[in-house]
Amino acid sequence: MNEVAAPAVSPGFKHLRSHRILTLDVTVHEFVHVNTGACHYHLATAHRENVFMVAFRTLPSDSTGVAHMLEHTALCGSKRYPVRDPFFWMIRRSLNTFMNAFTTSDYTAYPFASQNRKDFNNLLDVYLDAVFFSRLDPLDFAQEGHRVEFESPHDPTSALVYRGVVYNEMKGDSSSPISTLYEALKKHLYPTTTYHFNSGGDPAHIPELTYDGLLAFYQSHYHPGNAIFMTFGDIPAVELQQTFEEKVLVHFDRPGEEIAVGPEVRYTRPMRVEEPYGVDTGSDTSGQTHIVLGWLLGENTDLEMLLKCNLLSDALLDTSASPLRLALESSPLAGGVSPLSGLEETTHEMSFVCGVEGSEKVHADEIEALIIATLERVAEEGIATDKLEACLHQLELNQREIGGDGAPFGLQLMFSCISAAIHRGDPIDLLDLEPVLQKLRKKIMDPGFIKSLVQELLLDNAHRVRLTLYPDAELNQRLRQDEKEKLEALKASLDPEQTRRIIEQTDALARRQDAEEDISLLPKVGIEDVSADLDIPEGHTRAVRGGPKLTTYEAGTNGLVYHQIITRIPDLDPDSVVMLPYLTNMIGEIGSGGLGYLATQHLQHSMTGGISAFSSMRGAVDDPDQLIAYMALSSRTLVPKARDLLQILKQTLEAPDFNEASRLRDLVKQSRLRRQGNITGNAHGLAMSAASSFFRPVSLLNHQLSGLEAIARLKKLDDDLSNDEALEAFIERLSHLHQQLVVSDKQLLIVSEPSVLEPVLAGVDALWSGNKRAITGTGLSANLPASKPEQAWVTSTQVNFCASAFKTVAESHPDSAALSVLSGVLRNSYLHKVLREQGGAYGGGASHDSSNGVFRFYSYRDPNLMRTFEAFEQAVDWVIDSSITFDQVEEAILGIVSSIDAPGSPAGQARQAFHQGLFGRDAVHRRYVKQNILGVTVDDIKRVAGKYLKAPSAKAVVTNDQGARLLPGVFEVTVL
């Protein structure tokens, strides 16, 4: 143990231990509150982005979504802050770098982060009061959870309908085949514990939850003795504990009841089950079945077992060269490996899942037999030691990497260890994996080690479930009919008093939503608390002798080296343009440098953190109709393998092998299944991209290459490639595009710690000297068919995703900043209320794509269609005609600035600075943008709204077949 000196501690707390984790530059202190039993883990570090999270063990015993609904309702007002929506108000009144709440299968967490000490303390005050002293108003339960209303609110002869944010959110979630697959497998794999139930809520059962049931769950679960406090950053633990004590813990004098997940009842023989999932009526259901096997494993609080399971999962599935993934990808009975495949380690008793998507029900026995036969072969033959070493390389790389790009680094650390704390294990062990990794490095030298793991954990394990999830084109209609009949029966049972109460609740909720509130009760920061500067890393650029330009950044990467090869995309013919996403998706997944794809995958796995390729396109700073486009090949590795990384990345770019036709065919099929299965997860973004594509070339390319048009094209391509001639033609087109890119101008990027930069640069010089590429021709143009101004995209969804777009100005234009702030004003002060609170959508708002000069409105998991488009129009009238205050403008400014100032990882900030510079957004420009945003006024907001948003808009919606029939005839309808 890396023990360190005990820190200062608040009198109400007892210090249990401290542990230094050198690889993360963090010291973890563990405390317990003496009176209540509350746990506090403080991750002390020099980071000025401080993070707080309080998590409660929440173990539902049904699928009404009680824990999820409580998460929403708890944030709707509290004892000291009796305003209707303090959570969303504080998003606007703070400089947070992260604010959210999460409900998982066995805990609910409330995290936030801020770099500003005053802001952190404000948010801490509000969060603590919200979760421990929530008002839980019945009207908030009706708004956020569920309620019944008459379709015409004051007409009791009209039909009854369900409303509620969580209700519509979970309707959207249940539209995803992968979410349905996950919930169905959990239901059967965990027959008696809390994981049997849908913690988010099943729309069929959500209306069963009563307000009294919500209160009872709150009272039993939201006690400090059932809470884990986690903090990260440079604020001393004793300061934080004093706040916890003063604001919360002093009001509780004893521990609450112990809440824990018990052991699951084990099956004595494997189970085989079938479940349907909904697709649109008339859909082709062939090749849409999922077949997965799931095993129940040991407890996730046993660190050695946890890492053994991770190693086993990676060894079997991590790359296409792994035995189980290879067997499943090569099978002609399916389209690809199930995205559920792998280790689920967050549940108390872990599970291992593997299987396929894109199959048929009749193949279930054969798929199961293939999986078992593969495992038996591994149990007999084992796995080569070098492949196991590659898996440990990946575990070490992930352990050492300092994150912070997608979410605050401190929060990532918290989520990596919270499960252990929830189940009363040791979260510190999960943060410091090195001792157990050292044990595993020795154990893999024994040829029998992996064999025994496969035999004991999988082959001899009777607690196994085979789930066949098959498409049912009538299921959605049956669910709609069941809901209709349930509501009709409820309506028929109403007496006059019950009818009156429904109407009164509708009116009371509307009054509550419209009521003016004393927001001055809530703390805030203002523009005066914002730093006018920006922290932007500086790189150093030089030319490799006779080769490309090289830019280096020195950053605290904790022993990792990051490398990218950036290729300027030249002007391409339309056929080559639409091939770009296929090349970027495949180039890291096929063979290269004379090696087949299996050998290449193993090489990548052994020496790198994986290879990704992506194209990025933006409009010029002063002209959004002028395209700038690049393709990047990117990877990372540990310092000792840096020179191998350089070689592998160059080889991947310059010498990909397009000869393995069956591999390319499989990758297209896998991509189609993945893109189609994920539509509803980002359908609001896809709708915005579609609407924006009418106005700007970059938006058109995004829609065509990564948006809904790309999904439709991918579907057609996959269908066509069943023909050998079509497959050969596809490969020729792919090769032709590669030939154009490989001779285009290159740049190199290296991010590493200063002490290792010199030998890495020597490797760059050795590889790239004399590899100069001349810039040829002009840059990429969007020479593709124009989009329609009204588009409807039909898929399997129970809710809608709407978007409208308007053409605006270049990023350098003075009005660009005002348009960005306008989006925040509209979102905060109008759209949140109209779309979410009143309309029942899970989310909605506005944003300004300043890079490409497009303003967008959007809604997310929305029960409405044309009503939402009308709300977009009314929002513009509202901002022009209403008495907008500077407070509203300031709130929007704070939201934008907090996102601008949000820190990334050390390597991520360097990469961002480099790529911003590629597109003309250097440090001078980025500081100019921030200054302009800080200077926006009320008059600016009203002026740009009238100038740019009263013009005709383009519209797009992702909906279902019923929704498409409700749209005006001007919409061009495409079935995905």
Cα→Cα distances 487→144, 150, 505, Å: 20, 10, 17
H or E stretch at 132: helix 117-132
- pLDDT for position 912: 95
Helix (H, G, I), strand (E, B) or coil at 775: coil
Is the CB of residue 678 less than 8 Å from the CB of residue 178?
yes
- pLDDT for position 2: 63
For residue 787, the 8-state DSSP code is P
- pLDDT for position 400: 86
In whole angstroms, what is the distance from residue 550 CA to residue 768 CA? 10
Q: What is the pTM of this model?
A: 0.93
In whole angstroms, what is the distance from residue 428 CA to residue 436 CA? 13
Tokens coding 332? 């002609």
- pLDDT for position 546: 85
pLDDT beyond 80 at 404: yes
- pLDDT for position 825: 97
In this structure, the strands spanning 854-860 and 801-807 are: antiparallel
Half-sphere exposure of 140 (CA within 13 A, CB side): 22
- pLDDT for position 403: 87
pLDDT beyond 80 at 46: yes
Question: Binning pLDDT at 50, 70 and 90, where does residue 781 land?
Answer: confident
The alpha carbon dihedral of 905, 907, 910, 914 has a sign of negative
Of 291, 273, 299, whose CA–CA distance to 457 is shortest?
A: 299
pLDDT in tens, 440-487: 999 999 999 999 999 999 999 999 999 999 999 999 889 989 999 999
In whole angstroms, what is the distance from residue 372 CA to residue 912 CA? 45
- pLDDT for position 773: 65
Rounded mean pLDDT, 763-770: 90
pLDDT beyond 80 at 255: no
* Buried-state track 431-452, b at ≥16 Cβ within 10 A, e below 16: bbbeebeeebeebbeeeebbbe
Average pLDDT, the chain: 94
pLDDT beyond 60 at 669: yes
Question: Binning pLDDT at 50, 70 and 90, where does residue 239 land?
Answer: very high
Is the CB of residue 281 less than 8 Å from the CB of residue 961?
yes
Is the CB of residue 350 less than 8 Å from the CB of residue 186?
no
- pLDDT for position 775: 56
In whole angstroms, what is the distance from residue 569 CA to residue 614 CA? 11
Phi first, then psi, for residue 214 (nearest 5°) are: -60, -45
Question: Binning pLDDT at 50, 70 and 90, where does residue 776 land?
Answer: low
Dihedral, 398, 403, 406, 407 alpha carbons, nearest 10: 120
Which residues neighbour 360 within 8 Å (Cβ) at sequence distance 6 or greater? Answer: 286, 287, 289, 333
pLDDT in tens, 785-827: 889 999 999 999 999 999 999 999 999 999 999 999 999 999 9
Phi first, then psi, for residue 198 (nearest 5°) are: -85, 105
Tokens coding 878? 């509202």
Rounded mean pLDDT, 882-893: 95
Work out the percent of the chain whose per-residue pLDDT is above 70: 99
pLDDT in tens, 262-277: 999 999 999 999 999 9
**Exposed, middle or buried: residue 292 (CB in 10 Å: 0-12, 13-18, 19+)?**
buried
pLDDT beyond 60 at 774: no
The alpha carbon dihedral of 341, 345, 347, 349 has a sign of positive
In whole angstroms, what is the distance from residue 309 CA to residue 325 CA? 16
pLDDT beyond 70 at 336: yes
